[in-house]
Amino acid sequence: MQIIQPHYHGIARTAQDYERMAMSGVVAVCEPAFWAGFSRKYPETFIDYFRQISEFEPTRAAEFGIRHFCWVAVNPKEAENPSLSRAVLEQMPEFFKKPTVLGVGETGLHKSSPSECEIMEAQAQMAIDHDQLLLIHTPHLGDKLHGTRRVLEILERMPINPDKVWIDHVEEHTIRMVKDRGYWLGLTLYPITKCSPKRAVDLIERYGNERTLVNSSADWGPSDPFLLQECILEFRRRGHALQEAIEIFYNNPARYLGQSPKFDIQPIRIEEIR
């Protein structure tokens, strides 16, 4: 089955990931800018990182026939440093001109501090001003519930088209508030700390697959890009049709990301030849 992996941090992974993803049907990955595991000191470090994901990483993925797209942003954790963040934000619009940059992401919140909220709002405004897609990270673990509410409060003050916004890492206690407001939502599969493949399929069965993206992130920490394939297997083992799986794991990312003219992968339909 053909798969689009909408959230993947390739710079933290080996080429073996790309090879195995290609062998398992992945045709495209999207790499949001994120926290590198340590907080950077210099705006230039971010700029080189943006160059890496918008210029170099596509060539690594292409070795295995995978299309690579990316997003640029100051992540929530480093937004705690507003002067550094503002310096990076000044240079972000240059990257919107690159052929594989889809928008602003992942911004959002980590601890929901005033600085994080300020920088998230500035980046959401930048997405509006430059007609870019917007990818919002919601906090981890115990910070998720109040952080997701705060994200929604910030967005609701802004003249933003919900269809252009993807709010990621929702779980059972946050999915309704995101879905009810018309945003795209992301179910992120992690071994321990976010959603599991089984719980993701539960959520799809309960709330439907509209405006829903499933991803397995994969970064420098304990994570596994193939939880996405495990989720597809779980979905199919429960008796759901192949075309339904394609709607969730290929067509939905194609629909959401395809709002950017740079993402030219179209939804597909399986037909028998008689």
Interface with another protein by CB under 8 A: which residues? 141, 172, 192-193, 196, 198-199, 202, 205-206
Which residue carries 């192949």 as its tokens?
242
Shortest Cβ 23–another protein spacing (Å): 28
Of 63 and 172, nearer to another protein (C-beta) is: 172
Of 19 and 202, nearer to another protein (C-beta) is: 202
Shortest Cβ 26–another protein spacing (Å): 26
Distance CA 9, CA 32 (A): 7
Of 130 and 206, nearer to another protein (C-beta) is: 206
3-state secondary structure of 27: strand
Q: Which residues, other chains included, contact 191 with Cβ-Cβ below 8 Å and sequence gap of 6+? A: 222, 223, 224, 227
Peptide bond into 106 cis (omega under 30): yes
Instruction: Give Cα 185 distance to the centre of its chain.
Output: 9
Of 49 and 226, nearer to another protein (C-beta) is: 226
Shortest Cβ 246–another protein spacing (Å): 23
Shortest Cβ 56–another protein spacing (Å): 34
Of 67 and 199, nearer to another protein (C-beta) is: 199
Taking each helix axis as running N to C, give the angle between helix 82-96 and helix 114-129, from 0 to 180 degrees, rounded to the nearest 10: 20
Distance CA 168, CA 216 (A): 11
Instruction: Give Cα 245 distance to the centre of its chain.
Output: 19
Shortest Cβ 226–another protein spacing (Å): 18
Of 80 and 230, nearer to another protein (C-beta) is: 230
Which residue carries 């995978």 as its tokens?
66
Shortest Cβ 109–another protein spacing (Å): 20
